[in-house]
Amino acid sequence: MTPGRLIGWMWRSYLRPHRFLLLAALVLMSVEGSMMGALSYLVQPMFDHVFTGGTPNAVFWVAAAVSGVFILRALSGLGQRVLMSIAGERFVAAMQTDLLRHMMTLDQSFHQTHSPGALIERVRGDSGALKSVWTSVIAAVGRDVVSLVTLIGVALSVDWRWTLIAIAGAPLLVWPIMLLQKVVRRTSRHARESAASISTRLDEIFHGMATIQLTGSEAREAGRFKDGVDSFVGAQIRSEAGSAGIPAMMDVVAAIGFAGVLTYGGLQIIHGEKTVGEFMSFFTAMALIFEPLRRLGAVSGAWQVALSSMERVRGLFDITPTIVTPASPLPTPSVMRIDMADVRFGYGRELVLKGLNFTAEAGQTTALVGPSGAGKSTVFNLFARLADPQSGAITIGGTDLRQIDLVALRGLFSIVSQDTALFDETIRDNILLGRQNVSEARLREVMDAAHVSEFVSSLPKGLDTPAGPRGSGLSGGQRQRVAIARAILRNAPILLLDEATSALDAHSEALVQEALTRLSLGRTTLVIAHRLATVRDADKIVVMQQGLVVDQGRHEDLIARSGVYADLYNLQFRPAEQTHAAAD
């Protein structure tokens, strides 16, 4: 996207709502900027009427005028900075919120290819860079441009020839500045990408800290982090050097201009053609003129940084989800029978499901079993439309999932998995997940049913005890019971259980299994399990292998057929049974 279109998008989406704040800030910036010209103008009477002319009355009005200039500049500067701070913080907060909302609508394929650290850097780093640059750009337009105009006006009023001599070298800067701007933009983009890589590395290190310490990988991870930091530092230094080069070149041109004016103007003063006051007024104007020029030069470099960040932010907004609610959704079905008909799905070119067919009857428990990689967890993702199949159909009560409102569809499911997602909030918040108007009696009922009450009472703050980052303040069994309480409260008609007891000890497994049994009553329940003991009583067991259903039926029937299920069962239980028989 071109810079013009990026600026237009930025204005329409985030700056226009604050236009009155920005307008007021621009007015104050104009006042602040014009005070520089007023100050340089007052230098002439200060020298000609006070220092050289010795007029007593002039002392008072010149002193009052200079003091007024500084006071007005201070008040207008304070006001515009406060207004710009308010506008800047608000538009960045809105952008960050919009980015997060948008990313939460994107498909799982997006989140599988973009690390959390990189996305955090997009939300926080790029938008933060935009705030600082936008405020400086607006300040340059409102304050520094006005300063330049007024100061050049004062300089021209003293002597237009002196002004031309002072700025004669300015055209020489055009090409070098354009070249430096390209360098700054390129290196800034690389710096932002390096910053995202650093965030990703930190995210992985902190989440895998126990593994790192247990495997003695501290030095390796520190080295990988250092490599990322070195790459960022190098790119950042190149970007900063390019930005600093622009005002530095202006200083060189200023030195040449001042030398020319001093030579030419000095001779005129010696010959009595100009007064000392006129020269000092001009000299002050030209000395002050290069300060806003340097700031404008610095902003031109910073602007390239902003364009780089703007491109990255806009690029995220341009990614659209493929899994969306249909334009005319059908009514949510009342019958919770699930059918998969010749479903094919793959990640990239490799198919995981290769024509899957089975039915989960309403109100019954259907178990999915099979070796790792058979595609069992993928089935759950397709049910909730975290992904869509490449071909085939999945229906609930005869209605294709893709024809149901997406929010309503996902409202049909409660999911309890082995990787329970808890947040760094209180246990109460982790159960409620934002639900309002849940009575204490109902909450207590849910906790009792999930066996949460048994351990909450022993915690320091009870239900208001923080669960810790990712639930790290709780044991595995406690996390699972909180997730079950959440599912009971949700009260959805379809229950998906993905290895919900696989990582628990015997006591915790017994409690969790009992809670799951209560939860599944009257619901269409689908269970993924490697431990076949947990699904022996299922109404139907679907045996999967390499993305296909190779057998299905009740436990006794599958054992009698001596197929894949019987082999899995024998692998898990026959050695134990033989051991017990030998002991007897």
Q: Determine the Cα–Cα distance for residues 335 and 495; give it in Å rounded to an integer.
A: 14
In the chain, the amino acid numbered 202 is L
Separation CA 383–CA 347 (nearest Å): 16
The H or E element that residue 62 is part of is helix 56-103
Compute the distance between CA of residue 312 and CA of residue 342 in angstroms, rounded to an integer: 40
Strand, helix or coil for residue 512 = helix
CA–CA separation, 139 and 355 (whole Å): 62
Owner of token pair 């002072």: 166
Task: Identify the three-state secondary structure at position 569.
Answer: helix
Longest dimension (CA), the chain: 126
What's the pLDDT score for residue 404?
92
DSSP letter for each residue of 337-388: -EEEEEEEEEETTEEEEEEEEEEE-TTSEEEEE-STTSSHHHHHHHHTTSS-
Contact at 8 Å (CB) between 352 and 547? yes
**Calpha distance 14→317 (Å, rounded):** 14
CB contact burial 344-370 (16+ within 10 A = b; e otherwise): ebeeeeeebbeebebbbebbbbbbbbb
| Contacts (Cβ under 8 Å, ≥6 apart) of 511 | 451, 454, 477, 481
The pLDDT of residue 570 is 84
List of residues 6+ apart from 116 with CB closer than 8 A: 200, 203
Identify the DSSP state of 538. Answer: -
pTM of the model: 0.69
Question: What tokens appear for 93 in the block?
Answer: 């907060």
Residue ranges of domains in the chain: 3-318, 338-583
User: Distance of alpha carbon 203 from its chain centroid, rounded?
Assistant: 13
DSSP state of 372: T
Q: How many residues does the chain have?
A: 584
Which amino acid is present at 288?
Answer: L
Which tokens in the block code for residue 385?
């439309």
Is domain 338-583 annotated with CATH 3.40.640.10? no
Residue 502's closest CA among 574, 418, 400, 396? 418
Rounded-to-integer distance, Cα 527 and Cα 25, Å:
61
- Per-residue pLDDT of the chain in tens (584 residues, 90 and over written 9): 677 788 888 888 888 888 898 889 889 988 888 888 888 877 777 777 666 666 677 777 778 888 888 889 889 888 888 888 888 888 888 888 898 889 888 888 888 788 777 788 778 877 777 776 667 777 777 788 888 888 788 877 777 787 777 766 666 666 666 676 677 667 777 776 777 777 777 777 776 776 777 677 788 888 888 888 888 888 778 777 776 676 677 667 767 766 776 777 777 767 677 777 777 777 777 777 777 776 776 676 667 777 777 888 888 888 888 888 888 888 889 899 999 999 999 877 788 899 999 999 999 999 998 887 788 888 988 998 888 999 999 999 999 999 999 989 988 998 888 777 788 888 899 888 888 888 889 889 888 888 888 888 888 888 888 888 777 788 888 888 888 888 888 888 998 888 777 656 677 777 777 777 777 888 899 988 877 877 888 899 999 888 899 999 998 988 888 888 888 888 877 654 444 444 44
Query: What would the two tokens of residue 514 be?
Result: 């009992």
Judge whether 3-318 and 338-583 match in fold: no
> What is the model's pLDDT at position 197?
77
- CATH tag, 3-318: 1.20.1560.10
CA distance 151 to 227: 48
The alpha carbon of residue 269 and the mean position of all alpha carbons in its chain are separated, in whole angstroms, by 62
Rounded distance between C-alpha atoms, residue 64 and residue 58, angstroms: 10
User: What's the rounded Cα separation, in Å, for the pair 360 and 368?
Assistant: 10
